[in-house]
Amino acid sequence: MENVQKVLAGDVRIASRLIRNLEDNIPGAKETVKKVFPYTGKAHVVGITGSPGAGKSTLTDGIIASVRRKGKTVGVLAVDPTSPFTGGAILGDRCRMQRHAEDPGVFVRSLASRGAMGGLSKAIGDSIHVLDAMGKDMIIVETVGAGQQEVDIINHAHTVIVVLVPGMGDAIQAIKAGIMEIADIFVINKADREGAGKLYAEVNMMLDMSPSFPGGWRPPVIMTKNIYDPHQFAQDVEVLAEKIEEHYKMLIENNILGERQRRKALYELNEALRGYILEPILDKLVRTGEFSQMVEQLVAKEADPYTLAEQVAKRFMNGSLG
């Protein structure tokens, strides 16, 4: 209970340790999340996704500065690629946000993707709850940029920002990945590069083909230019920050926020059921060698996957999981 109170009081050290324990599946971490869960649901969760090298972390850094100027607190969960040696996060994202390191109103935590599909760590949902319970006004989730699986961010964020870069074929990739459908705001970063105007036109043309937009919100396309011109870049990011705020207000005014929270709840329940029901069964099948035997049966065409699944379901649903 002491840890719960410390999380609610915004204790950075305890929150960091809790998130680490959630990543490592340490027993007891979930119990703490259960107790802080009733205190969540107040933060504006913003997802930032896009291909590697698009400049997501630099934009996040600029958004943090803008939000802090308004007196609001920010939590950042930066999902980094996994180190092949330690299994931990390669802290590239955090390196770009060093100027906020001493700001008590900013909490930045890197999480390792550990091969998770969707460019997100498996602990991301619980980590969002931790930051929410700490009282952060805005929580920014930055994905690792995992190609055509980045759409998972929609299950966690109220506002999704898709970052595109000229000359990388990002418009085509966005269509292939289904990212066009999840974006609430498009950002063409490094817009001083050749091809920025063409990319801007392509994105708007694709938006023109959409039959409708939730709440009448047509995703704006923001151009952010050269980071080496700090004044211009800060102005561009300020426009982006204003659009993020406008989108959140639109969600509230049109009662769409509740729909997104319901979608998030549905996803979390599915994941929890998977964790408490499916994974223990799979673990037992693997541990006993039965899973390998079933695979061999399928290869030899001695059984089909549906019959095997039915047999497993009947067995474990009858309470024989022990």
User: DSSP per residue over 200-220, as a string?
Assistant: HHHHHHHHHT-S--GGG-PPP
Confidence of residue 319 (pLDDT cuts 50, 70, 90): low
Q: Does 136 share its domain with 170?
A: yes
Task: Answer yes or no: is 104 within a domain.
Answer: yes
- Check residue 25 and give its pLDDT: 86
Task: Answer yes or no: is 83 within a domain.
Answer: yes
Q: Does 209 share its domain with 304?
A: no
Lowest mean pLDDT among 96-100, 174-178, 235-239: 174-178
In angstroms, rounded to a whole number, what is the distance separating the alpha carbons of residues 38 and 255? 21
Tally of structural domains, the chain: 2
Task: Answer yes or no: is 33 within a domain.
Answer: no
Torsion of CA 55, 109, 117, 174, to 10 degrees: -20
Task: Answer yes or no: is 262 within a domain.
Answer: no
In angstroms, rounded to a whole number, what is the distance separating the alpha carbons of residues 45 and 267? 15
Q: Does 68 share its domain with 98?
A: yes
Q: Does 93 share its domain with 240?
A: yes
Q: Does residue 59 carry a pLDDT above 90?
A: yes
Task: Answer yes or no: is 50 within a domain.
Answer: yes
- Choose the final residue of a domain: 197, 223, 254: 254
In the chain, the amino acid numbered 225 is: K
Task: Answer yes or no: is 193 within a domain.
Answer: yes
Q: Does 88 share its domain with 150?
A: yes
Confidence of residue 169 (pLDDT cuts 50, 70, 90): low
In angstroms, rounded to a whole number, what is the distance separating the alpha carbons of residues 218 and 185? 9
Can you give the pTM of this predicted structure? 0.87
Q: Does 203 share its domain with 243?
A: yes
What domain range is 286 assigned to? 269-319
In angstroms, rounded to a whole number, what is the distance separating the alpha carbons of residues 50 and 144? 8
201, 153, 204: which is closest to 47 by C-alpha?
A: 153
Q: Does 191 share its domain with 280?
A: no
Q: Does 117 share its domain with 241?
A: yes
Q: Does 146 share its domain with 81?
A: yes
Are the CB atoms for 143 and 49 separated by under 8 Å?
yes
Name 23's bridge partners: none
Backbone angles phi, psi at 164, to 5 degrees: -120, 155
Q: Does 149 share its domain with 285?
A: no
Lowest mean pLDDT among 76-90, 117-131, 246-260, 264-278: 76-90
148, 132, 136, 140: which is closest to 182 by C-alpha?
A: 148
Average confidence score pLDDT of the chain? 86
Q: Does residue 114 carry a pLDDT above 70?
A: no
Q: Which whole-number Å values give the CA distances from 14 to 5, 18, 100, in the listed order?
A: 10, 6, 19
Confidence of residue 176 (pLDDT cuts 50, 70, 90): low
